[in-house]
Amino acid sequence: MRVKESDGTEYEYEVTDPQYEGDDDEDDDEDGEYEDEYTPTIPARVAFRRFWPLTKGLRGWLVIVWVCTVIAALAETEAILLFSELTDHALQKGSLSAFWSPASKWLAIAIVGAIVAYAGNSLAAWVTERFVMRLREHVFDHVQQLPPHFFQRHRQGDLLSRLTSDVEAIETMVVSGLVGAASALFSAIFYAAAAFWLRWDLAAATFVLAPLFWLAARRFSGSIKDVSRAGRVADGAITSVVEESLGNIVLTQAYDRRDAERRRLHEEANAWFRASVRSTRLNEAYEQLVQVIETICVLAVIGIGAWEISTGRMTLGQLLAFSAFLGYLYPPVRGLAQLGLTVTAATAGAERLIEILDVRPSVADPRRGAGTDTGRPDGAIEVRDVGFRYPGADRTALEGLSFTVSPGELVIITGPSGAGKSTVSKMLLRFYDPDSGEVLLDGVPLGDFPLARLREYITLLPQETLVLHDTVRANIACGRPGASDQAIEDAARAADAHDFIVRLPEGYDTKVDPNSARLSGGQLQRLAIARAILRDAPVLVLDEPTTGLDAMAARRVVKPLRRLMTGRTTIMITHDLNLAPDADRILVVDRGRIVETGRHDELLARGGAYSRLHRSQNNAMMDTGELRLPLFVEQGGAAPVAATMAAGAPQASYAAAQGGGDGGYAYQQPYGNMYDYNMYAAAGLWPQPMYEAHMGAAPTGAAPMEVQTAVPMEADYGANMPTTLPDGRPLFRDEEPWPGI
Ligand SMILES: Nc1ncnc2c1ncn2[C@@H]1O[C@H](COP(=O)(O)OP(=O)(O)OP(=O)(O)O)[C@@H](O)[C@H]1O
């Protein structure tokens, strides 16, 4: 994969590496490849190789950093030799004249060394941060292409932790590791060479002890990697718990789940606590062991040096310089060993990132040359014998599904919960490709369209309203980036959203976010409709557009929805059959298959699955009848209902109003709240349970109630409803001006 950076640098990134990757067939998914618990263990070398391509374009700078490191180490070595000269010639002999020359050289070297070290370290930081940025963007970009089920299986907090702290761990492994290793290596070589140059026999004697450092590091590396992996997993789990708990704060508070949530956090925090204490203990044990080894080396040097001086084979200056070299030599040698541990620990982070990078997007852009882009399609959809099973699922979600939708038609897909309706929308938007069969737009298989183009042609209005953390304007404009303010406003007007938007504190520039309480569900849905209107795609997929809205809000979105659907091929997935009479065709889906198809009237007359669904929808209304308030329609200058009811007008049964059960009717609730309810109750007009009305039974002691004008819903759903209560107060509370709090 080629990635282009904002600075114009291009680099090649290989997403896969056969060394640690399993076979890449679909079965991987079924084996639970994506589950949180399973993170493949990989060697540091493989992890390093995996991320090395991302350093392309930075490697030249890395070389400069190394050159700076070499110069700084050389300067340091020279400074120590000058110190030895000063000791022997100026200090031991007490000669000031012998001081100036080595002292001025030392100063010059120190200044050059400081400048070079400054430049090298600054450059190293730049390279490092650039790498981290590149890696983070790369992983983020990859995650954004992953299929919906990936996000259902991974906890969000864990993903966040992978994108933040694990990314930094890779940096330790790839860039800092390299810079640190080079710096330590060069320093160690120079100091060791200088020590050998001064006294090779003494140096050889002390270097015999050097492998002890390596043995110590080796002893600790396995445990440090384990504990570091456990720490990273716990870190992800803590972020997940906090994120889930805050996202569910209403449930937590309403059901007083604080203790349960605290316990959940405590469990994860405890795992992190144990990992982090154990990690500190291991690191500390290693440090102290190394200290002891170092002391042994220093004592060996002093012992041998004292003996050499006593025999006259060595000067004090030489011994001091020698000790200084050893003093300078140990940190890089230790650093090299420590680096091994750091890189090993960082590999635990790399494993977690690689696990994500190995998950394939479920769909890909067509290979170059595939497909013919003939411009904006007319919007003919054909679903041809489609079969699909979710990765890891044990049964098929769709089986032999076939239907066509001509340009401009409205097709409703309905059916019981879990039937596969939303899966159809995922096929149409190409979140997944079918396992068998195909989906075509204007006769062209969806897979032949570039993904971005396809999603320009087919717009999804999903079940949950998606809101960006941005202004209202940006939220509408994301339907068509670069749209003019006038176009945005026109879309908002067509979606009946303009009026409430201008009443917001900053109008179109008011900030909203997904958790915002500023907008009601209905208002958010109208924003989404405005976004879809602006997008102006020839095909619309509406997934339960009225679900989650109360009856009033649902009615308010019907008109904008109709405007949105006009002239577009529309596939509406819904349980709400109120718009069914408008549909050109209704598909009833059950267990992934179409079990019935036809127009609303035909299907009702057939008395099959659709009519049962239709009846059950009405029954659901009846089941909750006792909780409902009496329904009525006040229109055409009819007298207020209270007055009509008080006058004892004859009761009209719900069944009669239903017109034989064929289609619903628009009823408006006269009472906006309990106050209204009590007002009517006090008037002796106890509300009649709907199922009784439906059955035609008059409630005992209740004055009969007249349904003055029954408006068939299919004809006038949301069109002629009153906007005020009988006493003149506004009916639509969500349209009230922004209270400013
Ligand atoms: N990510 C997934 N992994 C595995 N199975 C899934 C996944 N998503 C959905 N399913 C299964 O596929 C089947 C069809 O699901 P789908 O969401 O399409 O149903 P639906 O008809 O839209 O239901 P509802 O009306 O409740 O939204 C169901 O059995 C569901 O459990």
Q: Judge whether residue 372 has pLDDT over 50.
A: yes
Task: Assess whether pLDDT exceeds 50 at residue 488.
Answer: yes
pLDDT of residue 179: 75
Specify if 24 maps to a domain: no
Let me know whether 334 and 419 are in one domain. Answer: no
Taking residues 306-310, report their average pLDDT.
84
Is residue 635's pLDDT more than 70? no
CA 7 / ligand 1 centre spacing (Å): 43
Residue 643 scores a pLDDT above 60: no
Range from 2-11, 43-52, 109-118 carrying the lowest mean pLDDT: 2-11
pLDDT class of 690 with cuts at 50, 70, 90: very low
CATH code for position 150: 1.20.1560.10
| Residue of the CA atom closest to atom 25 of ligand 1 | 417
Separation of CA 607 and ligand 1 centre (Å): 27
CA atoms within 13 A on the CB side of 228: 24
- Do residues 644 and 539 share a domain? no
User: Over the range 640-662, which residues count as b (16 or more CB within 10 Å of their CB) and which as e?
Assistant: ebbebbeeebebbbbeebbeeee
pLDDT of 685 above 60: no
What does the alpha-carbon distance between residue 647 and residue 605 come to, in Å, rounded to a whole number? 39
Question: Number of folded domains in the chain?
Answer: 3
Q: Indicate which atom in ligand 1 lies nearest the CA of residue 415.
A: 21
> 14 falls in which pLDDT band (50, 70, 90)?
very low
Compare 483 and 667 and report the one with higher pLDDT: 483
- 699 and 566 in a single domain? The answer is no
Q: Report yes or no on 22 lying in a domain.
A: no
Q: Among 618, 653, 673, which residue terminates a domain?
A: 618
Q: Per mean pLDDT, which range of 240-244, 393-397, 439-443 is the poorest?
A: 240-244
pLDDT greater at residue 6 or residue 424 = 424
**Kind and range of the H or E run holding 438:** strand 436-441
Asked whether residue 590 is domain-assigned, the answer is yes
Q: Is residue 367 part of a domain?
A: no
Greater confidence (78 vs 678) lies with 78
pLDDT score recorded for residue 367: 66
**Residue 275 confidence (pLDDT):** 85
% of the chain at pLDDT higher than 70? 74
Residues 705 and 587 in one domain: no
Q: Is 365 among the domain residues?
A: no
Whether residue 106 is found in the same domain as residue 178: yes
**Which one of 150, 359, 423 would you pick to mutate in the ligand 1 pocket, going by the greatest count of ligand atoms within 8 A of its CB?**
423
Is residue 330 predicted with pLDDT exceeding 90?
A: no
Number of the ligand 1 atom closest to the C-alpha atom of 573: 22
pLDDT at 382: 92
- 47, 125: one domain: yes
126 within a domain of the structure (yes/no):
yes
Three-state SS string across 126-185, please? Answer: HHHHHHHHHHHHHHHHHHHCCCHHHHHHCCHHHHHHHHHHHHHHHHHHHHHHHHHHHHHH
SS (H, E, C) 30-57: HCCCCCCCCCCCCCHHHHHHHHHHHHCC
Angle at 580 between CA 579 and CA 586, to 5 degrees: 140
Query: Hey, which of 422, 425, 435 would you mutate to test ligand 1's pocket, going by the most ligand atoms within 8 Å of its Cβ?
Result: 422
Number of Cα atoms under 13 Å in the Cβ half of residue 632: 26
Q: Pocket of ligand 1, candidates 390, 424, 575, 616: which has the most ligand atoms within 8 Å of its Cβ, to mutate?
A: 390
Lowest mean pLDDT among 240-254, 431-445, 578-592: 240-254
In this predicted model, which residue has the larger pLDDT, 383 or 172? 383
State residue 419 phi and psi, 5-degree precision.
Answer: -75, -25
Q: What pLDDT, on a 0 to 100 scale, did the predictor assign at position 403?
A: 92
Q: Does the pLDDT value for residue 248 go beyond 80?
A: no
Do 440 and 338 lie in one domain? The reply is: no
CA of 418 to the centre of ligand 1 (A): 5
The whole-number average pLDDT for the span 297-307 is 80
Looking only at the bridges linking them, the beta strands covering 410-414 and 585-590 are parallel
Q: What is the mean predicted confidence (pLDDT) over 527-532?
A: 89
The domain boundary, picked from 323, 357, 391, lies at 357
Which ipTM score applies to this complex?
Answer: 0.96
pLDDT of residue 412: 92
* Per-chain mean pLDDT for the chain: 73
| Residues 670 and 529 placed together within one structural domain of the fold | no
Q: Is residue 26 part of a domain?
A: no
Tokens found for residue 370: 């595939």
Question: For the segment 273-285, what is each residue's pLDDT rounded down to a tens digit?
Answer: 888 888 888 888 8
Which domain-ending residue is among 341, 357, 373?
357
**Structural domain that includes position 505:** 381-618
- What is the DSSP secondary-structure string of 323-336? HHHHHHHHHHHHHH
Same domain flag for 207 and 181:
yes
Flag whether 668 is in a domain: yes
Tell me the pTM.
Answer: 0.61
pLDDT for position 187: 79
Residue 13: is its pLDDT beyond 50?
Answer: no
330 & 408 share domain: no
149/61 same-domain check: yes
| Same-domain pairing of 614 and 727 | no
Which atom of ligand 1 approaches the CA of 426 most closely? 18
